[in-house]
Amino acid sequence: MKKIIGPHHLLPKESFPEAKTVVSFFLPFEKKLVNLNWQSPDPVKEWIQAKSETDCLIGKINEKLKAELAEENIQSVVPGTDFDYKSKGFDVTWSHKSAAYAAGLGTFGVNQMLITKAGCAGRFGTLLISAEIPPNPRPKEEFCRYKKGERCLVCVDRCPAGALSIRGLDKEKCYKYLQKNARAFPELNQFACGKCATGPCALRSR
């Protein structure tokens, strides 16, 4: 993880010394929500709310899993993902997407989203557990159409910030646009956009 992301990213055992397995899961958004964000050129309140509500649901799922595992004498910890742009820039100590990639849930697209078999529109959760479980095999094929050699780049065309290209993501441009979006719905107190996650890979890997 440190080689792929950077030295700031924690290894599982740095977050939880007893960790033997990283459990990663994906909760996809509904098709009608994806379509709503696809059709609108403006920030979509429902999408931003879904991000917040799904993150809350993931928290509840993790708490339920922790309780169930504790009954089997299995310890578990949810790794922290604090984001503090002012003091740390874009560095986070734990990336749910990168953990999901390492766990074999999918492959990264040009949009820098992890494309799973259920697509990339949704949210990821992680739980570190003290029990050892055999790992899932990593996908042997690319799920991103462009990376498979097909014509696509819908995500690049869709990015309202002009932050995406085949060379990667300009995080500064993306972040500034997210700040602008946040001002559209200040009551939500959320940074979200999701335009790049509404293309052909939104709900499926092929």
Which pLDDT belongs to residue 92?
74
pLDDT at 82 over 60: no
Decide which of 85 and 27 is more confident: 27
pLDDT at 84 over 80: no
pLDDT at 90 over 80: no
pLDDT at 178 over 80: yes
Q: What is the mean pLDDT of residues 69-88?
A: 76
- Contact of 107 with 148, CB cutoff 8 Å: no
pLDDT at 46 over 50: yes
- Distance, in Å, from the CA atom of 4 to the CA atom of 2, rounded to the nearest integer, reads 6
**Percent of the chain whose pLDDT exceeds 90:** 79
**Contacts (Cβ under 8 Å, ≥6 apart) of 127:** 22, 23, 62, 65, 66, 76, 77, 78
Which pLDDT belongs to residue 206?
59
- Distance, in Å, from the CA atom of 19 to the CA atom of 6, rounded to the nearest integer, reads 20
| pTM score | 0.90
Which pLDDT belongs to residue 14?
86
